[in-house]
């Protein structure tokens, strides 16, 4: 893996607090259908060239986020990534972190433009077929028409699929796009960098636990975890 470039400072505590508060007040996921109580979460990643320096580490962190959910009956996850010239692929739905990690480690970065619109359209399609609890996205850039993305994000909001947007780096245009998608879908936004790997892991794990078990599971997880997550304890009712 290439050496990390110089990146901005880690997320401010106020930004993390705002993200955790938004997660705490997000409507709890609907229970699964009869015979299948698993939550369903779409995990989307930008695999364009700009993310290559931090890709390997991020892949492992992002796979770890689902291990906590196994004791809750598990979480079904679909990985979506885009890269290169118009390539946007989705994995089958999987229920084990090992399977997810296998998919992630098989992906490498290729230069190309962002394709967030395809990700949001896929999420709409999936949740119309079977309810999706939430969408998580990790990326560093956004080069698409924000009005188009906002319309799709709003449709996900109406369908009850919040988007939790994690922005790597400090590009202000991309940051605003991520924030708009999060707001219009009823989700939340948070910035991170290579210096905040544990912070990212804890926040992603909190989202996964929420998607799998709702607010009660999230409150229990916050009591056991330490670090940033206990900030949720007094917010979750």
pLDDT tens track for 176-192:
999 999 999 988 888 87
pLDDT recorded at residue 5: 38
CB proximity list for 8: less than 8 A, separation 6 or greater: 169, 170, 193
Q: Which of 77, 2, 86 is nearest to 43 (CA)?
A: 77
Residue 102, token pair as written in the block? 């296998």
Q: What is the CATH number of domain 39-232?
A: 3.40.50.410
Residue 175, token pair as written in the block? 């940051």
What stretch of H or E contains 202?
helix 197-225
pLDDT recorded at residue 194: 62
Tell me the residue ranges of DSSP E strands in 152-209.
Answer: 163-168, 188-192
pTM of the model: 0.80
pLDDT tens track for 65-109:
666 666 555 788 898 999 999 999 999 998 776 777 778 777 888
What is the DSSP annotation of 69-110?
GGGGT-EEEEEEEEETTTEEEEPPPB--HHHHHHHHHT----
User: DSSP 3-state assignment of 218?
Assistant: helix
What angle (nearest 5°) sits at the alpha carbon of residue 26, between those of residues 25 and 29? Answer: 130
Low-confidence ranges of the chain (pLDDT < 70): 1-17, 20, 24-25, 28, 30-37, 56, 58-73, 97, 193-198, 225-237
Q: How far apart are CA 227 and CA 222, in angstroms?
A: 9
pLDDT recorded at residue 107: 84
Contact 47, 108 (CB under 8 A): yes
Residue 200, token pair as written in the block? 């990212």
In the 8-state DSSP scheme, what is residue 190?
Answer: E
What is the DSSP annotation of 14-74?
HHHHHHHHHHHHSPPPPPPPTT---EEEEEEEE-SGGGHHHHHHHHHHHHHTTGGGGGGT-
């Amino acid at each position: 893996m290439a050496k990390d470039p110089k990146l901005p400072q880690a997320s401010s505590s106020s930004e993390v607090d705002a993200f955790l508060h938004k997660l705490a007040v997000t409507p709890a996921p609907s229970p699964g259908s009869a015979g299948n109580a698993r939550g369903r979460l779409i995990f989307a990643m930008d695999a364009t060239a700009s993310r290559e320096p931090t890709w390997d580490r991020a892949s492992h962190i992002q796979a770890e986020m689902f291990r906590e959910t196994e004791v809750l009956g598990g979480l079904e996850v679909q990985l979506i990534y885009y890269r290169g010239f118009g390539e946007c692929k989705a994995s089958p739905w999987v229920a084990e972190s090992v399977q997810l990690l296998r998919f992630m480690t098989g992906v490498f970065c290729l230069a190309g433009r962002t394709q967030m619109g395809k990700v949001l359209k896929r999420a709409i399609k999936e949740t119309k077929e079977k309810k999706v609890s939430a969408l998580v996205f990790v990326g560093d850039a956004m080069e698409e028409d924000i009005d188009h993305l906002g319309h799709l994000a709003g449709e996900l909001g109406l369908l009850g699929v919040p988007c939790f947007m994690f922005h790597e780096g400090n590009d202000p245009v991309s940051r605003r796009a991520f924030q708009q998608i999060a707001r219009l879908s009823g989700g939340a936004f948070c910035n991170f960098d290579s210096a905040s790997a544990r912070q990212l892991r804890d926040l992603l794990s909190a989202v996964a636990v929420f998607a799998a078990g709702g607010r009660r599971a999230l409150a229990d997880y916050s009591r056991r975890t330490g670090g940033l997550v206990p900030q949720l304890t007094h917010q979750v009712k």
